[in-house]
Structures are given as C-alpha cells and as structure tokens.
Amino acid sequence: MIGTINRAFSIGFLVIVCLTFSELNAQEYNNIGVLELARQAASEGGFAKAIELLQKEEKQHPHDVNVQQLLAHSYYWSGNLKMAELIFEKTIAAHPEQKALHLDYGRMLFEIKKYEDAKTHLLAYLNSDPSNAEALLNLGYIHFWNEEYKTAEGYFKKLLVLFPGQAEAVVMMEKIQAIQSVYIDLFGNYNTDSQPFTFYKPTVSVSKYWNKWLHPFINGSAYFFDVDSGGKQAQLIELGNHFYFKKVKTTLTINSGFYRNQIDGQIDFTGEAVLKKQLTKGLSISANASRTPNLTTLASLDQSVFQNEYAFQFDLSNGDSWMGQAAVGQKNHGDQNPILSAYAWAMSPAFKISVFQFRAGYAFNLSDSKESRFRNELPLSEIIAEWQEGTEVKGIYDPYFTPESQQIHAALAYLKINISKKINLELNANVGLFAQADLPFLYLDQTGNELEVKTDFFTQKENTIDLSSKFEFEILRNTWLISSYRYENTFFYDAHSVTIGLKTNFDRN
C-alpha cells in the first residue's frame, strides 16, 4: 500500500515539476516534445527507449534538471538503482537551489528501503517546506521502523495538526500508543496428571516499553500443589528486560529471579538469556541458556530441583506461508546426566475458507538421557517384606524425568476460526503416528546372599496425543479474555491443563 501511494506521488509530482521547470527554461530551448515522448515511453514500460531519448537530450543540454530527473526515474523504474542514485546525486549537487529534488530522491530511497539516506533528503526538503505531508509521513514511518517511537510520534502529530484525520497518521498514532502502553497479564492455571501430580498456579506479568534499551518486565507466580503427601507451595519472581539492536536485526532478552520451595525453605537463583537474530524475512535463529526449577515429578516437590538448559533454534514464520521450527537442546541437573533433545516441525501455508483457516504438518521429536532416574518408590526393606512372586516393584522418577531413546513422528493439524472481529478460536492437534521409547521397569534380583532392586527396559510403542484449544475474546477495548485447554497422553502419564485469564494494556490516553 505504501509503495503504491508513493509511486502515485512520484509520477504526479514528477509531471508537475517537469512541466514547471520546462516553462521556466522555455526561453533557452524547447525540449518539451522529447520529455513528453520519454514520459510516454516510460509509462508504457519502454524504459530502454525512454533512457535512450533522455541520454541524447542530456548530451545536448547537460545541465537541464528536467532531463536528468526523468532519466533518474527511468533508470529506477527499469531496475537500475545504481544509475538512478548516481544521476540523482549528480543533479542535486549541480542544482542545490532545486529543493524539490530532495523530496523526489528521498521518496525513491524510501521505496527501496534505504531509510537512513532517505531521511537525510526528506529532512533537507522539509526545511524548505515544513508542512509537506509526504515528507512528514515518510519520516514518521522511518523512525517508527527504527523503533524511535517518540520521534515518529512527533511527525505524525504534526501531520494531524496540519491535516486533521489523516488516515495513516491516525493508525500509526494508535500503534505507537499501544507499543508504549503498560501491559498486564493475569492468569490462573490448573494442571493435573496421573502420577498423581496436581497444582494450581496464578501468575501476574507486567511490562512497559520506553525505548529500544529499556523494555522491562516482571513476572510473579505461586504454585499450590495438591498431592497425596499433602499440600505444598512454591513461589517464583523474575525481573527482566528486552534489548533491541535494530541495525543487526537482533533482540536480547535477559531475566533473573528467585525461587522458593516451602519444603526446604531455600531461596534459589533463576535466570535466562535469549539471543535472537533475524536472518531473512520470516527466518530467525536464536540461542538461549536458562536455569529454572524443574517441577515435573512428585520428588521435585520435596527438594528444589534445578535444570540448566541450553538450546539453539531456527524459526520460520512468514504470514500465511510456510511455518516451521527446528531445535536442539540439552538439560543438566548437576549430576553429570545430560538429557539431549532435538525436534523439528513444519506446517503448510494457510488454507482459508470464509472464517476458517487451516494448516497441516509433520513433527519429529527425539530425546534421550545418559542414565535413568527411575527408582523404587519404597525402601528395599519394605519391598522385600511385602514381595511375592509376580509382585510388581513400583517405581517413580526421582528427582526428574529421564527419557530413554524416545522418538515420535506426528501429524499436525491447526484450525483457526475468526468468529467475529473480537472473538477467535484456535484448535491444535499433534498425533503421534509412530512413537516409541524404552521404558524402565524394576525387579528384585539376588546377588550372592543379598536381594537388590535392578532396572531394565522394554520398548514401548504407542500413539501419543497432544490436543489443545485457545479462545480469545476482546471484552473491552484493549482487554482480552483468554482461556485454553490442553490434553496430553504421553509414555509417562496423561495430563490435563486449563488456563484462564486477562490481558490488558493501559495507553496514555
């Protein structure tokens, strides 16, 4: 849309300027016929013909602004950007009094996304014409895309003073106000699985953007566990900041915090750093390192269990086109037992019918650990006392899960329903068509005169399932009610998770 508008500006502006300059120079010589022929050829796509005519005319009249300006545009429209820039630079240097050349050249640089150079020439023109709508609008866009929102806001405000209700400026002001708002998220999550492991977690998140160096956020969560051994609690608070390096298309997010487990009363440090770089449009790479509490097993409630995780990830996201992700990672728990993982998934371009948007895809997941942490649940003495032939030795993962040679090939499906402008529903399905893992089992074995519990493995094949839904409803301006549900059927347990909450932002108005 911006490119089309600027192209229209460009052609119209060029015609007016050329006609004006031609009238001023008519006493010296009359080249209106040549210019008209060149303009007509260019408008019909005959850029080579237009360039040929104008080059001949330039040789006869090397200082004619009209000829040089139209020649620069002809090169630009033909795709020869280098020659277009060269002629514009030469013409501006030879005719510093022609301020309109700065607007014309600035427009071209804006269209080819040379924003810093465009800014120089648009500012040069704005000094001579402070109320020019096009220069104000494009300068506002440039500063907005550079995440210099205060400066961008100044240009859009001035444009609205001069031209009240200007549509693009109104939209951009709303975007800037949204970016600089205070965002608050209030969520509650209920999670239960068949270990049995059940907890409720309320979470509060607050963030505020000031500039590319200062975009802080704070997250606070409380865990209320309901397990067979009684209620237990834990708290987590994190403070972080986003840093934006626009010129190298890189974002750095750092946070640190504290975790307290009610059982041992310890206060432990948490932290995470994520470095993300945009490689091309829609494609990015990221690396992250984190230290977080592992709250996935019953044993992790009786002692603070922390995991250090390192990962590299590629993301592909380009609107309605292909989507995908690939990552490798490693988790360590301070006991020389790394858990390695790798996964990849891809989703087709969106297929749209009416209010429905559908995607299909494929996913692969692989995970493995050096050693198993599957242990007998009861002490050996109790196991021996109660043991009978064929009795199962019950086990639990202590203190964390350890997958063994686990691999899953899954079919993916995604459906989004835009029920209305304010209501959306998303449905996701991840169905493991081929999934297998080596699962541990425990048995009593006699070594010499002593009995001991030993671990062995068997290969289990089954169809894993991961189903989820998300509902969004804008109940008030800038306030969304969000709820989600997830069901997981894994090798280790079945789990249900329900989340409901509010997302809101408070703009300065």
Q: 417-459, pLDDT tens digit by residue?
A: 999 999 999 999 999 999 999 999 998 887 777 888 889 999 9
Number of domains in the chain: 2
Give the model's pLDDT for residue 230: 63
CB 408 within 8 A of CB 434: yes
Domain that holds residue 400: 182-506
Separation of alpha carbons 239 and 258, rounded Å: 9
pLDDT tens column, 229-266? 567 889 999 999 999 998 899 999 999 999 998 877 78
Q: Are residues 114 and 191 in the same domain?
A: no
Residues 115, 187: one domain? no
pLDDT per position as a tens digit, 360-397: 999 999 999 999 999 998 898 888 888 777 778 899 99
Mean pLDDT of 309-319: 95
pLDDT, mean over the chain: 87
Residue in 108, 113, 101, 100 with CA at minimum distance from that of residue 141: 113
Residue 58 lies in a domain: yes
**145: in domain:** no
pLDDT more than 90, % of the chain: 61
What's the burial of 400, exposed, middle or buried (CB within 10 Å: 0-12/13-18/19+)? buried
Q: Is residue 138 part of a domain?
A: no
**Helix axes of 100-111 and 65-78: crossing angle, nearest 10 degrees:** 0
Q: Percent helix, strand, coil in the chain (nearest 5)?
A: 30, 45, 25
Residue type, 475: I
DSSP 8-class letter at 377:
S
Q: Cis omega (within 30 of 0) on the bond before 196?
A: yes
Helix axes 32-43, 47-60, angle to 10 degrees: 160
| pLDDT at residue 269, as a whole number | 94
Q: CB-based contacts of 500: which residues, under 8 Å, 6+ apart?
A: 187, 188, 481, 482, 483, 484
Q: Based on the fold, state whether residues 297 and 190 are members of the same structural domain.
A: yes
- Binned at pLDDT 50, 70 and 90, residue 503 comes out as very high
Percent of the chain with pLDDT over 70: 90
Nearest to 18 by CA among 45, 43, 44, 38: 38
Contact criterion met (CB below 8 Å) for 292 and 307: yes
In a domain, 304, yes or no: yes
The answer to whether residue 165 is domain-embedded is no
Same domain, 115 and 244: no
pLDDT above 70: residue 5: no
CA angle 161, 162, 167 (to 5 degrees): 80
472 and 348 part of one domain: yes
Q: What is the DSSP string of 226-293?
A: EETTEEEEEEEEEEEEEEEEGGGTEEEEEEEEEEEETTT--EEEEEEEEEEEEEETTEEEEEEEEEEE
Q: Model's pTM, two decimal places? A: 0.78
The larger pLDDT score, comparing residue 441 to residue 30, is at 441
Residue 200 has pLDDT above 90, yes or no: yes
Closest CA to 507 of 212, 208, 134: 208
Domain containing 21 — which CATH number?
1.25.40.10
CB-based contact 269:306 (threshold 8 Å): no
Q: Is residue 188 part of a domain?
A: yes
- pLDDT surpassing 70 at residue 480: yes
The tokens for 215 are 């975009």
- Shared domain for 108 and 34, answered yes or no, is yes
Last residue of a domain, one of 89, 112, 129: 129
